[in-house]
C-alpha cells in the first residue's frame, strides 16, 4: 500500500511544473568594480528572499549606453529597468511610449522615500510616474592641493574668473597641466559651458531660452558664456591630447596627480581612483573642492549648482516584479551602503545620514543650500538639443568655433525641437 502511495506522489510531482521565475533585466552603467560587487550582493539578497524572481544586471559603458539605449528600447532585448539622468531625454522616452507608468504599482513607502523632488523628476508631462529617483549629484571643481602648493597658487584666489585665469597661468608657468579634460566624449566639455551659463544667465535666463523666448540661446548671456570658455581655451589649459581623451583618460590623469584640476561630477571621487594607475588616486588629504569662479555682473545666484537627479525608469514591458526589485534596491538599508562607501549621495530618506566622506557631505550640503540645482544641460534639453550643446562645447574647448556660432547652433536646435 505504501509503495502505491509513494508511486502516486512521485507521479504527481512529475506532472507539476517547476516554479516559474520572472526575469528582471536591470541595465546599469556602474563601472567601479567594488560598486558592481555591492549591486550584485543586493541582487543576491533580493533573489534569496524572492525565489520566483531572477535579477540580471547587464552593463553598458556610459557612451555605449547613450548610443544604444533608444534602439534597445525598441527591440526584443529591451531591459525592464534602466539607468536615467531624467530631464528632456526622459520626457522624449515617455512621449515615444517606451516606458511603463508605475504610480499604481509602486508602494506609498517607496514614493515617500524619494520625496516630492524625486517624484517630480520622473513624472512626465502626461502626469504619469515612470521611474524611481536614486541619487543626487553635483559637478564640482576638484583640485590637487599638492600641485597648488607646488605652483604657489592660493585656492582662495581662484574664486573669481580673473583670479581663476591667473591661477591657470601660474600652473602653466610652473610646468603643471592646469586642467584635465576628456573632450572626445564631449559631455565633460559641456560642463564648462554649462557652469558659465549658470553663472551668467541664471535660472530664469536658462529656462526662458529653453522655451525659445526672446533671442533664446543666441542671447547675450549665452554668447558671453562662449566668450569666457574661449578665453580659457586660448590659454591652452588642457593636457596634451585632450581632444582624443575620453572621460576615463582625463579622470585617470587627474587621479595620477598629473593635472591640477578636473571639472567633474562628485562620482569622480571614486572614478579617479579606479582610473588611476595605482588604483588609489589622490589621497583625501591632498584632494579639495573649489567653488566654480564667480563672474562679475552674472545673473546666477552664487549658491546655484549643476548636477543631476538620477534614477531608473521602467520600460513598457516591465513586470510588477521589476518594481518590487527596484523598491528593494532603493530602500534605505541598501542605499545607506552606497552612502557609507561614498559611491553617490542617495535620495532615499535617511540613507545619506551615514555619510562620513567629507567631500560627499560637502556636496550634499551644497545641493541642499542651492537656490537652483540645474540638471545637466545635455539631459535637461533633450537628446537633440543636448547633443548640439555637447558638440559645440567640445569645439569651444578646442577653440574651433566662435561664441556667436555656438550660441546660434544651440538656438536653432531648440527652435527645431519646439
Whether residue 392 has pLDDT greater than 50: yes
Nearest 5 degrees, angle CA 48-CA 345-CA 347?
Answer: 70
pLDDT classification of 342: cutoffs 50, 70, 90: confident
**Is-contact 274 31, C-beta < 8 A?**
yes
Question: What integer is the mean pLDDT of 168-174?
Answer: 98
**Res. 18 pLDDT band, cuts 50 70 90:** low
Taking the C-alpha atoms of residue 360 and residue 339, their distance in angstroms, rounded to an integer, is 9
> Which CA distances in Å does 52 have to 102, 110, 308, 322, 327?
21, 21, 34, 12, 16
Does residue 8 surpass a pLDDT of 70? no
Q: What is the pLDDT of residues 103-148, one digit of tens each?
A: 999 999 999 998 888 898 899 989 999 999 999 999 999 999 999 9
CB 252 within 8 A of CB 277: yes
Whether residue 376 is predicted with pLDDT greater than 70 in this model: the reply is yes
The answer, yes or no, to whether residue 12 has pLDDT greater than 70, is no
| 380 vs 194: CA distance, rounded Å | 11
Q: Summarize pLDDT for 22-80 with one digit per residue, the tens.
A: 999 999 999 889 999 999 999 999 999 999 999 999 999 988 998 999 999 999 999 99
Question: 19: pLDDT confidence band, cut at 50, 70 and 90?
Answer: low
Q: Sign of the CA dihedral 394, 133, 291, 253?
A: negative
User: Per-residue confidence at 14, pLDDT binned at 50, 70, 90?
Assistant: very low
Q: What is the mean pLDDT of the chain?
A: 93
Identical topology for domains 23-137+307-374 and 138-305+376-416: yes
What are the residue ranges spanned by the domains of the chain?
Answer: 23-137+307-374, 138-305+376-416
Determine the Cα–Cα distance for residues 138 and 290; give it in Å rounded to an integer.
Answer: 12
Distance of CA 256 to the CA centre of its chain: 23
CA distance readout (Å), 149 to 235, 254, 255, 289: 21, 16, 17, 15
Closest CA to 369 of 84, 114, 136: 136
Mean pLDDT of 342-363: 90
CATH no. of 23-137+307-374? 3.40.190.10
Give the confidence band of 368 by pLDDT, cuts at 50, 70, 90. Answer: confident
> What percent of the chain has a predicted confidence (pLDDT) above 70?
95
The C-alpha cell at 74 is: 525598441
Share of the chain above pLDDT 90, in %: 83
- DSSP string across 274-330: HHSTTS--S-GGGEEEEPPPB-TT--S-TT-EEEEEEEEEEBTT--HHHHHHHHHHT
- Rounded distance, CA 377 to CA 256, Å? 29
pTM of the shown model: 0.84
Buried b (16+ CB within 10 A) or exposed e, 294-326: ebeebbbeeebbbbbbbbbbbbbebbebbbbbb
Whether residue 283 is predicted with pLDDT greater than 90 in this model: the reply is: yes
pLDDT exceeds 90 at position 278: yes
Is the pLDDT score of 216 beyond 80?
Answer: yes
pLDDT tier for residue 7 given thresholds of 50, 70 and 90: very low
Q: What is the CATH number of domain 138-305+376-416?
A: 3.40.190.10
Q: Which is nearest to 167 in space by CA: 141, 148, 192?
A: 148
In this prediction, residue 165 has a pLDDT band, given cuts at 50, 70 and 90, of very high
Amino acid at each position: 500500500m505504501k509503495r502505491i502511495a509513494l508511486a502516486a506522489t512521485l507521479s504527481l510531482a512529475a506532472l507539476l511544473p517547476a516554479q516559474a521565475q520572472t526575469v528582471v533585466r536591470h541595465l546599469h552603467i556602474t563601472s567601479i568594480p567594488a560598486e558592481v560587487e555591492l549591486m550584485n550582493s543586493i541582487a543576491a539578497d533580493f533573489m534569496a528572499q524572492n525565489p520566483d524572481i531572477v535579477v540580471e544586471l547587464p552593463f553598458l559603458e556610459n557612451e555605449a549606453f547613450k548610443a544604444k539605449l533608444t534602439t534597445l528600447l525598441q527591440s526584443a532585448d529591451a531591459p525592464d529597468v534602466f539607468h536615467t539622468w531624467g530631464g528632456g531625454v526622459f520626457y522624449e522616452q515617455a512621449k515615444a511610449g517606451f516606458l511603463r507608468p508605475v504610480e499604481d504599482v509602486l508602494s506609498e513607502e517607496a514614493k515617500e522615500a524619494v520625496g516630492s523632488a524625486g517624484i517630480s523628476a520622473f513624472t512626465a508631462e502626461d502626469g504619469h510616474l515612470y521611474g524611481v529617483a536614486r541619487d543626487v549629484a553635483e559637478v564640482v571643481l576638484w583640485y590637487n592641493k599638492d600641485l597648488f602648493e607646488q605652483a604657489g597658487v592660493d585656492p582662495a584666489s581662484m574664486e573669481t574668473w580673473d583670479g581663476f585665469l591667473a591661477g591657470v597661468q601660474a600652473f602653466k608657468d610652473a610646468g603643471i597641466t592646469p586642467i584635465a579634460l576628456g573632450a572626445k566624449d564631449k559631455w565633460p566639455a559641456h560642463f564648462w559651458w554649462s557652469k558659465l551659463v549658470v553663472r551668467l544667465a541664471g535660472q530664469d535666463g536658462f529656462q526662458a531660452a529653453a522655451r525659445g523666448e526672446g533671442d533664446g540661446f543666441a542671447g547675450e548671456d549665452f554668447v558671453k558664456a562662449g566668450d569666457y570658455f574661449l578665453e580659457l581655451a586660448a590659454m591652452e589649459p588642457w593636457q596634451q591630447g585632450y581632444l582624443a581623451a575620453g572621460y576615463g583618460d582625463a579622470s585617470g590623469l587627474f587621479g595620477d596627480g598629473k593635472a591640477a584640476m578636473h571639472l567633474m561630477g562628485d562620482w569622480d571621487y571614486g572614478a579617479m581612483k579606479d582610473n588611476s594607475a595605482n588604483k588609489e588616486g589622490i589621497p583625501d588629504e591632498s584632494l579639495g573642492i573649489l567653488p566654480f569662479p564667480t563672474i562679475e555682473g552674472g545673473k546666477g545666484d552664487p549658491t546655484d549648482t549643476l548636477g543631476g537627479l538620477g534614477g531608473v525608469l521602467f520600460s513598457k514591458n516591465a513586470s510588477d516584479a521589476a518594481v518590487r526589485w527596484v523598491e528593494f534596491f532603493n530602500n534605505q538599508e541598501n542605499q545607506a551602503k552606497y552612502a557609507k562607501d561614498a559611491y553617490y549621495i542617495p535620495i532615499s530618506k535617511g540613507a545619506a545620514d551615514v555619510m562620513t566622506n567629507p567631500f560627499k557631505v560637502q556636496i550634499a550640503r551644497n545641493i541642499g543650500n542651492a537656490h537652483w540645482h540645474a540638471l545637466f544641460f545635455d539631459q535637461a534639453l533633450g537628446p537633440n538639443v543636448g547633443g548640439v550643446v555637447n558638440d559645440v562645447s567640445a569645439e569651444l574647448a578646442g577653440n574651433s568655433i566662435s561664441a556667436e556660432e555656438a550660441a546660434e547652433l544651440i538656438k536653432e536646435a531648440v527652435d527645431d525641437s519646439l
